[in-house]
Amino acid sequence: MSLLRLGVLCEDVRTDPITKKEFFFIADPDGLPIEFYETGS
């Protein structure tokens, strides 16, 4: 199930200009950011 289907607000996916890996943020219940960052090659 996707985060969006669960009602989690997500920022747009961005690409890190240095590593060229994708990442995005969501907020935890207290409003603090949680970052999801692409791993692997």
For 31, the token pair is 């409003």
For range 13-39, the mean pLDDT: 95
**17 alpha-carbon distance from chain centroid:** 16
According to the model, what pLDDT value does residue 22 have?
97
E strand segments, the chain: 14-15, 22-27, 33-37
According to the model, what pLDDT value does residue 41 have?
66
pLDDT exceeds 80 at position 4? yes
For 14, the token pair is 């961005």
Strand order in the sheet with 33-37: 14-15, 22-27, 33-37
For range 19-28, the mean pLDDT: 95
Query: What distance in Å separates the CA atoms of residue 33 and residue 10, rounded to the nearest whole number?
Result: 10
**Cβ atoms of residues 37 and 21 within 8 Å:** yes
pLDDT exceeds 70 at position 23? yes
